[in-house]
Amino acid sequence: MTEMPKKKFSPRSARGDKPRYGEQKPKPKRSGDKPRFNDDQPQGFKEKSDRFQDKPRPRSNEDKPRRSGDKPSSFKSRFKDKDRDKPRYGDERPRRSGQKPQFAKAAPSAPPMADSDQAQEALDLLYGHHAVLAALDGDRQLNRIWITSHLRHDIRYRTKIQTAKTNGTVVDEVDNFRLNQITHNANHQGIAAQVAPYHYWELGDLIDQAKRQSTAPVLVIIDSITDPHNLGAIIRTAEAFGAQGMVLPQRRVAGITSTVMKVAAGALEHFPVARVVNLSRALETLKESGFWIYGTVAGKQPPLHQSDLREPMGLVIGSEGEGLSLLTQKHCDHLITIPLAGKTPSLNASVAAAISLYEIFRQRGFDRPTLSPPSPDFPEVSED
């Protein structure tokens, strides 16, 4: 029996059989294909490690020589370990890696201390619908009202705001941010009001009462004084010397608040104060009623002690910085000044008012507020 010749073994890929169990049949290469994995590299290709064999390897940014004054340009060198453990957002302890920053806790919206001036004026504030509506319906005088634009035209406030404005209340349209500042982040509901703890007089009533008290009354007129301490000191001095009253304009002047009443030390209980809308018109009304208007200014004007101050008069006091406005000076009959010997150009408003009132009542005699012949000890002042 003849034996069959044995076939030589050939790999599967050579036999052309289908790949089994995940075997892959090699794909024919095409022109333009990039080398992949362990395929034969094209002629002339160099490995990555051999790319810079012919040329020197370029230095990195950190290896470059630095000049004097240069700063490291790489991100890591600039911010490496810089402010890493620095507390952020009010955190007292250093942060660790992966720990979120702790935000500072908001301070509670509480009013300031009661001994501050701002807290004393805040005691005169009303805010909220019910409180302000009750004040508008009652007899309490309001110095100022802060209201948002959409509430001013509301049917609940439209008529009452107009009535309060007619009575001398200053009405300001503000936004919620301003109301938050005024009320110290309280629930204002879009409206706030400053209540006047003092009942203002009418100008006509003040003039009539001043003439009944003296044949030569003295009225103090305030212009552009916004400091409540200065206003309170002037009221206290005027009442102590025997003046018959005070006239305040509606704008650019501090109102009679709790701070003014405290500085005045009870003088407002016996001292009438009138409030006018237009100061220039009020000065003309005083002139028609027989008052001479004297304005205190700093400059080359007749000295205070050389003027005859024994007639019915209104003494106008301006602010410390700006003094009397030009419009107020035009409505004054006389401008007087306090002579100063030092290098200080001006005095405080309350100090200037005190010196002027002292000279006025010194010429008249403190025990005789009415017009009378001067005493033998006091020579008559000539009009020259």
- 134 shares its domain with 238: no
CATH number, residue 155: 3.30.1330.30
Of the three residues 155, 172, 195, the one that is the final residue of a domain is 195
* 374 domain-assigned: no
* 86 domain-assigned: no
- 183 shares its domain with 217: no
* 157 domain-assigned: yes
Write the CB contacts of 359 (distance below 8 Å, at least 6 apart in sequence).
304, 305, 309
- 185 shares its domain with 212: no
Q: What percent of the chain has pLDDT over 70?
A: 62
Domain count, the chain: 2
- 264 shares its domain with 168: no
pLDDT digits (tens, 9 = 90+) for 163-218: 888 888 889 999 999 999 988 888 889 999 888 767 889 999 999 999 999 999 99
- Band of residue 134 on the pLDDT scale cut at 50, 70, 90: confident
Of the three residues 159, 177, 195, the one that is the final residue of a domain is 195
- At residue 35, the pLDDT reads 58
- 240 shares its domain with 166: no
Q: How many other CB atoms are there within 10 angstroms of residue 384's CB atom?
A: 5
Nearest to 309 by CA among 296, 322, 328, 324: 296
- At residue 243, the pLDDT reads 94
* 338 domain-assigned: yes
Residue whose structure tokens are 């240069």: 70
Are 195 and 124 in contact, with CB atoms under 8 Å apart? yes
Lowest-confidence segment of 148-152, 253-257, 306-310 by average pLDDT: 253-257
* 180 domain-assigned: yes
Domain that holds residue 143: 117-195
- 137 shares its domain with 160: yes
* 383 domain-assigned: no
- Band of residue 106 on the pLDDT scale cut at 50, 70, 90: very low
- 217 shares its domain with 333: yes
* 60 domain-assigned: no
Tell me the average pLDDT of the chain: 75
- At residue 239, the pLDDT reads 93
How many Cα neighbours within 13 Å face the side chain of 96? 1
- 128 shares its domain with 187: yes
Of 83 and 117, which is predicted with more confidence? 83
pLDDT digits (tens, 9 = 90+) for 300-353: 888 888 888 999 999 999 987 778 888 999 999 999 999 888 888 888 899 999
Q: Are strands 313-317 and 218-222 parallel, antiparallel or unpaired?
A: parallel
